[in-house]
Amino acid sequence: MNLAEKIKHLREVEGELRGLNRPMTQVEVVKAMQEELNESISQAYLSQLEAGKRVHLTATSRELLARFFKIHPSYLVADPPGFSVDLLTTMDHEGERLTTWLLANAEEWHSESALRPLLLQLAETEQPRRYIKLFNQLMSLPLEKLETMVNAMTKHNSDTTVIN
């Protein structure tokens, strides 16, 4: 990922984190930076970075953007060609790899009240791939029909549960 893509991504994430349900605009980033940190970069400079016209940041700008987005400054460096964030191993333990991925993403999405528990539960099950295949099949059903089925099964299970 190059620097331009990283900054665009950070604006998207920051917009979501701030409840905007959209990426923050460059102007919003500059304004928020000034309000929250009492210093800022210009919108024109940010635009040049995102357009790829500038491929490197000054140390001062890197530190300022890192503080604003609450990231490590080293993230704001373009990745070398062929760089991958995936952990690669010569060992082929697909089950362990999926479990590791599920756990890592559960932590990454800790603020998502519906997604995090689902990922954790999938990581803890013995056959997460079977669940994923079933979830995929369920996605083809109309949402209303799926809700009706789940409500009926949930009610049936609670009716048959014996409390000791």
Helical packing angle, 128-138 and 94-108, nearest 10°? 60
Q: If you ran DSSP here, which 8-state letter would residue 49 be given?
A: H
Residue 83 domain flag: no
Ordered alpha helix ranges (H), the chain: 3-17, 26-37, 43-51, 59-69, 94-108, 115-124, 128-138, 143-160
Residues 110 and 137 in one domain: yes
Residues 7 and 70 in one domain: yes
- Which one of 41, 76, 111 terminates a domain? 76
Residues 65 and 100 in one domain: no
Distance between CA atoms of residues 158 and 152, nearest Å: 10
Q: How many domains are contained in the chain? A: 2
Residue 145 CA: distances (Å) to CA of 59, 116, 132, 138, 152: 55, 25, 19, 10, 11
Domain with 61, as residue range(s), is 3-76
Q: pLDDT tens, position by position, for the chain (164 residues)?
A: 788 988 999 999 999 998 999 999 999 999 999 999 999 999 999 999 999 898 888 889 999 999 999 998 888 887 667 666 665 555 445 567 788 888 888 777 778 888 888 988 988 888 888 998 988 888 888 989 889 988 898 886 666 554 54
Residue 52 domain flag: yes
Residues 103 and 63 in one domain: no
Residue 86 domain flag: no
Q: If you ran DSSP here, which 8-state letter would residue 81 be given?
A: T
pLDDT of residue 164: 46
| 9-42 burial: b if 16+ Cβ within 10 Å, else e | ebbeebbeeeeeeebbebebbbeebeeeeeebbe
Residues 58 and 103 in one domain: no
pTM above 0.85, yes or no: no
Residues 98 and 72 in one domain: no
pLDDT of residue 158: 64
Residue 153 domain flag: yes
pLDDT of residue 3: 87
Residue 142 domain flag: yes
44, burial (CB in 10 Å: exposed 0-12, middle 13-18, buried 19+): exposed
Residues 46 and 99 in one domain: no
Residue 16 CA: distances (Å) to CA of 56, 130, 134: 26, 31, 30
Residues 64 and 119 in one domain: no
